[in-house]
Structure 1
Amino acid sequence: MSTNATVREVLKWASSFLKASGKEAAAAERLLMERQQWNRTDLLLHLDQAMPLAVKKQLIEDVSEHGSGIPIQHLLGYEWFYDYSFKVTKDTLIPRPETEEIVDKCLKRNPDGKTLQVLDIGTGTGAIAITIKKERPSFSVTATDLSAHALKVAEENAEELGAAVRFKLGDLTEPVQDEQFDIILSNPPYIAENEKKFMDESVLAYEPKMALFAASNGLEIYQRLAKELPERLKAGGQIYLEIGFRQGKAVKSLFEAAFPTAEVSVEKDMSGQDRLIFVQLS
């Protein structure tokens, strides 16, 4: 590249580099836009302008590190979730669009104004709990996590976003064992150990394994939740659980047994994959 290469020319090189490294070519545009705080229109307006040396240097460094396997979110230090920016670290899962869909379904079924008690189990960055509190200020939201390091990140995110969420350290519902809730949500570990060979290497290298993998072919946490949640859910309450796309039938059976009079359903994400177990008590 010449010293006065345009944004278009540098992006073309960066995209080709990432593609050759087995990464999404579009990541180059995202890295540039995030670093420069540009939207799509800003990018289009700058395409034929010379890229400043400092900007070029940062982009080359970013695509090189991303090409080596470092997630974009770890390079930037944050990820967007439901239009909110959440700090991410090696101690937290990176929030993903599939989980946004689950939060969206919960919000659409539960309008603001009521004083509902909400529990987010295994909160990680706090994305689920904080988003629900931001979108439904009248709700009282509690979040638990087994990792003190993850909980610290969640607390920082809540403070940054001005969300009054109560955080509790402990395993699943143990920190709230004397309480009951109107809504319980969780994106628990659900990947079986034997599925590790199919996973992206960057996920294995940079995201916490305790938040990814579960015993009993990925069902262990659902089995435990099916035992614990009947005591934690109020009459008329709801449960939202993210699942792996092959787990719908098995997890549905667990919760039908745990809540024999409830409506238990498997719901799909926008890609048509089984992604949510929804429990509605009468």
Structure 2
Amino acid sequence: MNYETVIKRSKKMVERNNQEVRVIYMLLEHVLNLPTSHILANLEEEIDENKLEEFSELLAEYVVDEKPVAYILGYTYFYNLKLTVNNDVFIPRKETEELVGIVIDLLKDKEDMIVADIATGSGNIAISVKKNLKVDKMYAVDISDKALDVASKNASDNDADIHFINGDLLQPLIDNDLKVDVIISNPPYIKEGYPLSNAVYNHEPHLALFAKKDGMENYERILVQSKQVLNDGGYIFFEIGFDQGQRMIDLIKRYYPNDKYEIRKDLSGNDRFVIIEKISN
């Protein structure tokens, strides 16, 4: 069977389920170790039977099992970094790349910073920030040992010096009397019971998805705990849900009433990013 026939048949399967056609090319690139440009330029070329079988199995995982393509491939790309992912970690999203861009832009002129990435997951935030800013020490905390195993591998693969700590939000920093200049967190923020796609609900770790108090519990706990951790003049950066902007403002006014804050929108026009600058003690 040649490339053209495989692509046409695969498109019918994918489009029937309203799934993404681009995944066909991602899987072909992965199996054949060839760029899409070569495949499209050589549509009459025959595919090795073993490669075809491997591709068909992976496509079935995507179409039938609705498994996210990042989990099928075992990796994804984030801020120009190749990161290992599996179902022990949340798959990094494009919005979080926007968050990292905001952090880098705001802090690009600062030096010798001590930074903490809370609920690090795959380590995507910690690693990308460490590699793009003048960070003296980067802590990355997660409650899941399995997630930290993935994050540690990603840090090693991308030559990033990260101090990984198992624990619940900022508590391990408090326990060790550690102070930081910057806190960054994209914690679980989906309210319990919120409807999700099968691909997300059935495959991504619920520990990394859901939070109590309509999704706001982790933000409130971090703000409370940060009082013992964040240095004066320091920053807190959050990624939030599209409908959580006003509730976040309410929390900020409760716990950081005299400090500067800003809610920024993502590229889709939704409230998505929070910046708090600590002015007072």
> What is the TM-score normalised by the length of structure 1?
0.92
Do the aligned partners of residues 112 and 57 (structure 1) sit closer, same or farther apart at CA in structure 2, a change above 3 Å counting? Answer: farther
The structure 1 residue matched to 2:57, chosen from 28, 37, 61, is 61
Q: Check conservation: 2:140, 2:165, Cα contact below 8 A.
A: yes
Specify the alignment match of 1:131 in structure 2: 128
State the Cα distance separating 1:35 from its structure 2 match: 3.5
Residues in 2 aligned to 1:138 and 1:224: alpha-carbon distance in whole angstroms: 25
Do the aligned partners of residues 90 and 249 (structure 1) sit closer, same or farther apart at CA in structure 2, a change above 3 Å counting? Answer: same
Do the aligned partners of residues 48 and 235 (structure 1) sit closer, same or farther apart at CA in structure 2, a change above 3 Å counting? Answer: farther
Specify the alignment match of 1:159 in structure 2: 156
Specify the alignment match of 1:193 in structure 2: 192
Specify the alignment match of 1:84 in structure 2: 81
Specify the alignment match of 1:96 in structure 2: 93
RMSD after superposition: 1.7
Q: Check conservation: 1:121, 1:185, Cα contact below 8 A.
A: yes
Residues in 2 aligned to 1:38 and 1:173: alpha-carbon distance in whole angstroms: 44
Specify the alignment match of 2:244 in structure 1: 247
Q: Check conservation: 2:114, 2:135, Cα contact below 8 A.
A: no
Overall identity of the aligned pairs, in %: 33
The C-alpha deviation readout for 1:161-181, integer Å capped at 9, x for no partner, is 111000011000111111221
Residues in 2 aligned to 1:70 and 1:80: alpha-carbon distance in whole angstroms: 17
Specify every segment of 5 or more residues in structure 2 that has no aligned partner in the other structure, as ranges. none
The C-alpha deviation readout for 1:119-151, integer Å capped at 9, x for no partner, is 000001111101111222544211000111111
The C-alpha deviation readout for 1:168-219, integer Å capped at 9, x for no partner, is 1100011111122111101111111121xx2011211111111111111111
The C-alpha deviation readout for 1:213-272, integer Å capped at 9, x for no partner, is 111111111111121112221111111111110001101220122112221111111111
Do the aligned partners of residues 42 and 170 (structure 1) sit closer, same or farther apart at CA in structure 2, a change above 3 Å counting? Answer: same
Larger mean CA deviation between 26-35 and 87-96 belongs to: 26-35
Q: Check conservation: 1:16, 1:25, Cα contact below 8 A.
A: no
Specify the alignment match of 2:106 in structure 1: 109
Specify the alignment match of 2:180 in structure 1: 181
**Matched position secondary structure for 1:256:** helix
1:24 maps to 2:20: yes
The structure 1 residue matched to 2:146, chosen from 146, 149, 152, is 149
The C-alpha deviation readout for 1:49-77, integer Å capped at 9, x for no partner, is 33333332222111111112111111111
Specify the alignment match of 1:261 in structure 2: 258
Code of the residue aligned with 2:107 in structure 1: it is N
**Matched position secondary structure for 2:190:** coil
State the Cα distance separating 1:113 from its structure 2 match: 6.5
Residues in 2 aligned to 1:145 and 1:201: alpha-carbon distance in whole angstroms: 25
Code of the residue aligned with 1:252 in structure 2: it is I
Do the aligned partners of residues 112 and 140 (structure 1) sit closer, same or farther apart at CA in structure 2, a change above 3 Å counting? Answer: farther
Residues in 1 aligned to 2:36 and 2:207: alpha-carbon distance in whole angstroms: 36
4+ residue runs over 6 A deviation: none
Do the aligned partners of residues 184 and 38 (structure 1) sit closer, same or farther apart at CA in structure 2, a change above 3 Å counting? Answer: farther
